[in-house]
Chain A
Amino acid sequence: MVRRLVHALLAVALLPAGVAAQGSRTVILSTTTSTQDSGLLDVLVPLFERRTGYTLKTISVGTGQALALAARGEADVTLAHAPAMEKKHVADGQLRNRRPVMYNDFLLIGPPADPANIRGEKSVPTALRRIAAAGARFVSRGDRSGTHNLEQRLWRDAGITPGPPWYIESGQGMGATLGIANDRQAYTLTDRATMLAFARRVSLTSMVEGDRRLLNLYSVMEVNPANGPRVNAEGGQAFAAFMLAPETQQVIKTFGVEKYGQPLFVPIAGKTDDDF
């Protein structure tokens, strides 16, 4: 009864906007903010649409939310960068066919004054322990994103439970978090793509990089149609196949060179987690 009433009301409300049934030609991709903020999707989405005839809708949110949306069947395919969380969803049967697409790396960055004296340190846990010991400010995403997920694991590896007053949670995307870290002259963990995009705006510099723990691996997963009604399994499959196709991988390989003088992602279709 209530449902019918809501239907009728919304039907009236929506008439002027021209509601069109989308059918199965629409694919919903849930993904992390870094793929969008880096501009990569702006290049890949039109390519996918032209090649397959599908309309792709990209929902860019933190990886935690992107995976949760996919697990609820609110998306058809997902591109994320939190291997541990992803594997859990795959094991639970909500997502399937997880395949690595590309990678880049995270950097531990900080103010040039380097109050915790970590510049050039090779091991991230050691660097984090020094930050904690010095009580130097550290800004965390605090938003269950892929970056936040990794950061929490790194603190665990360091054997430290970070907390106030020196540990600041921004609860925002990578760009905004870099702004806060810059303003507070604090350390933070960032992906390389976002750091390059902000290089002109922030005075923070790279402190620790190259640690194997800082690998940033992006994988594509299809949504199990059993998760909910109206999952477009075929469309999801088509996008996953597109991301792994040689032509797309070639585009990923050169993306960013023009603007930043170096590529932002390294394509790795066909590899598995064990190759790293």
Chain B
Amino acid sequence: MDLLVEGVWHALTLISRGDPEILAILWLSLQVSGTATLVALLLGIPAGVVLALARFPGRTLLVSAVNTGMGLPPVVVGLFVTILLWRSGPLGEWEILYTPAAIVAAQAVIASPIVTGITLAAVQNVPEKFLLQLRGLGASRIQMVRVVLREARLPMLAAVMAGFGGVISEIGASMMVGGNIKGHTRTLTTAMVLETGKGNFEIAIALSILLLTLVFAVNWGLTVIQQRRTP
């Protein structure tokens, strides 16, 4: 109990003092997971729209794969991305293992199915009759996609929240492909494991508070946008 009270107190002083090392870790996590979420949106939204609207053989199989991917274990992604990026691996010549770029790649792989799956569900929730009407009015494919995305944009903010929330709190992949290198690839979660391992529980608690605050702030901002005007 002492540790908890003391830890939280110490954590708050560390944060309010603006400890440069902790701020740098916070900034890196935000950059890496933000970029990964962006990449996931670029890949996942088109994929989700296509899966929701198009009809082709093997579609059900693909949808099942996406649904499975929504629960992709980060350590599995970490393991395979590591093997790909190893010096002796197929992408070894890139020499990006143990860099922030490697973490972005792994986190994008984790977040893409989440974005795809939620987009798919959001677009499928647009009423069938509405789509029929559009087609009846002679809308082109591009026009249909644009209108549908507009209709589904609010539920799709959930995709951003789920994707970002998933990758910023993920640890397995960041640890494996990033290596938790000080000042380089040390993110909030990997730093937390390290500091706990070192017995520096105050710092670990400070990082937990920061992580929760960050995820909350991002979700709050997005929720405000989402709830501003209910359709």
Contacts and interface: CB of A to CB of B under 8 A. Distances in A.
Interface of A: 3, 6-7, 10, 12-14, 16-22, 26, 28, 33, 36-37, 39, 41-42, 45, 57-60, 72-74, 173-176, 197-198, 200-201, 228-231
Contacts of A198: 199
A240 B111 CA distance: 40
Contacts of A231: 87
B87 A74 contact: yes
Nearest to A175: B197
Interface of B: 32, 35, 38-39, 43, 84, 86-88, 90-101, 104-105, 108, 179-182, 184, 194, 196-199, 201
A275 B51 CA distance: 69
Contacts of A21: 95
A21 B32 CA distance: 18
Given A13-B105, A17-B32, A33-B197, 18 more contacts: A6-B91, A7-B91, A13-B39, A14-B96, A14-B105, A16-B38, A16-B39, A36-B194, A37-B194, A57-B98, A58-B182, A73-B87, A74-B87, A173-B197, A175-B196, A197-B199, A201-B199, A229-B88
25 contacts: A14-B104, A16-B39, A17-B32, A17-B101, A18-B101, A19-B101, A20-B99, A22-B99, A28-B98, A33-B197, A37-B197, A45-B182, A57-B98, A57-B179, A57-B181, A59-B98, A59-B179, A60-B180, A74-B86, A74-B87, A173-B197, A175-B198, A229-B87, A230-B87, A230-B92
A229 B182 contact: no
Contacts of A174: 197
B207 to A, nearest CB: 16
Nearest to A201: B199
Contacts of A229: 87-88, 92-93
A141 B43 CA distance: 42
Interface of B: prevailing SS: helix
Nearest to B180: A60
Contacts of B32: 17
B199 A57 contact: no
B105 A22 contact: no
Given A175-B198, A176-B196, A16 B88 contact: no
A41 B10 CA distance: 25
Nearest to B96: A19
B197 A13 contact: no
Contacts of A18: 101
A264 to B, nearest CB: 13
B86 A72 contact: yes
Contacts of A74: 86-88, 97
B108 A13 contact: yes
A39 B198 contact: yes
Q: Which of A16, A28, A58, A173 has the most CB of B within 10 A?
A: A16
B181 A58 contact: yes
A51 to B, nearest CB: 17
Contact of B101 (A7, A14, A45, A230): A14
Contacts of B94: 10, 19
Given A58-B179, A74-B86, A17 B35 contact: yes
B198 A197 contact: yes
A45 B180 CA distance: 14
A86 to B, nearest CB: 21
Nearest to A56: B181
A37 B197 CA distance: 7
Given A16-B104, A42-B182, A6 B84 contact: yes
B184 A6 contact: no
A10 B184 contact: no
A28 B159 CA distance: 37
Contacts of B90: 3, 6
A41 B183 CA distance: 13
